[in-house]
Amino acid sequence: MEKIYEGMLGGTPFYVTTLNRQHLPEIEKLQLKVYESLTDQSILQPLSTEEFEYILNGNGLMIGAYVENKLIAFRALLNPPIDEEHLGYDCGIAEDELHRVLYQEISNVSPTYRGYGLQKTLAKVVMNQIDLEKYDYVCSTVKPYNIPSLKDKFSQDLVVKGLKIKYVDKLRYIFYKDLRQELPIFTEKKSISMADTVGQQQLLKQGYIGTSMYEDQNDWFVVYEK
């Protein structure tokens, strides 16, 4: 396997490689292990075998981290089908550019190797693998109060462009990044509790975007700017 990144987890060496269909059994085994370890399983939407196969068959990119020959983490980007649920519509991307959108999909880290910033490392590695000749945008969805995933998106300079019901009945932040340009200089800033869905939706309608988050007095606040 070609190593696209090498590093250390404490005193343990690991490497990252691109995954393909041959890796599907170990991917699904790790996903199950991660899902069963969660105290709140609603924060993770596991992928089906068909969804993994769709990505691994060339409709995106999946990378995996290994310690020796054991898969300990993976992260995926998806080239999604263009349908009425496409996140590009929620982010104001022109219809003729929707084919240039990738989704940040599932990211799993073995419970044994949490606490080393591996999810953040894999984010940098997988984003560096994007073919900028083919893609201009990255989108993603995250459940409110899924703090690790929210921190992960903000750390990569993705911003909140929407907060709405997706996947039939699930409230989700819609994150967005334009790979071609940096964020502008903002002149207005407002902070609002993550629990205030209506207030955040009003700010988004007024042209604000969510740029960061912080904890205060046992609650989390999102910073909106424009």
First to last CA, the chain: 45
114: three-class secondary structure by DSSP = coil
Confidence (pLDDT) at 38: 84
Query: Which segments of the chain have a pLDDT < 70?
Result: none
All domains of the chain, ordered by start, with CATH? 3-139 (3.40.630.30), 184-226 (no CATH)
How far is Cα 75 from Cα 126, in angstroms, rounded to an integer?
A: 7
Distance CA 117, CA 103 (A): 21
- How far apart are alpha carbons 196 and 190 in whole angstroms? 13
Residue with tokens 């071609």: 180
Report the pLDDT value the prediction gives residue 198, as an integer from 0 to 100.
Answer: 97
d(CA 78, CA 101): 9
Q: Which two tokens stand for residue 192?
A: 């609002």
165-184, pLDDT tens digit by residue?
A: 998 888 999 999 999 998 88
170-178 vs 137-142, strand pairing mode:
antiparallel
pLDDT at 145: 93
The reported pLDDT for the residue numbered 57 is 93
Residue 31, phi then psi, degrees to nearest 5 = -60, -45
Residue 148: per-residue pLDDT: 87
Amino acid, res. 225: E
- For residue 206, give both structure tokens: 């007024």
The confidence score (pLDDT) of residue 40 equals 79
